[in-house]
Amino acid sequence: MKIEIGAYEAKTRLPELLRQVKAGKRFTITNRGQAVADLVPSENPEPSDPRAAIGKFQAFMRANPVRGRANIRALIREGRE
């Protein structure tokens, strides 16, 4: 069930609202009586494991090795263009 809350009240009570959203509650934020946003729990509340991310990155690097000599300055210039 969504609870309607005005934008000003949402701003002043944001930390409390976030705790409630983390617990599963949903809020509809209104501005002058018009619904403008929904404050709902994240679909992915669990932070990712850094070790898993490193493992995926290492697997990517093994599957896509750098060939030849890389000119770091040229790569940086290319990235800035």
- The residue with tokens 């403008």 is 36
pLDDT at 8 over 90: yes
Q: What is the pLDDT of residue 23?
A: 92
Q: What is the pLDDT of residue 45?
A: 60
User: Is 16 part of any domain?
Assistant: yes
Shared domain check, 54 and 34: no
| Residue 45 counted as domain residue | no
Residues 29 and 58 in one domain: no
Quote the Cα angle for 16-21-24, to 5°: 135
Q: Is residue 24 part of a domain?
A: yes
Domain count, the chain: 2
Q: Is 70 helix (H, G, I), strand (E, B) or coil?
A: coil
Express each pLDDT in 18-73 by its tens digit. 999 999 999 999 999 999 999 999 887 666 788 988 999 999 989 988 777 778 88
Question: Which domain, by its residues, includes 33?
Answer: 2-39
Asked whether residue 1 carries a pLDDT value surpassing 70, the answer given is no
With residues binned 3-state (H G I as helix, E B as strand, rest as coil), the percentages for the chain, rounded to 5, are 45, 20, 30
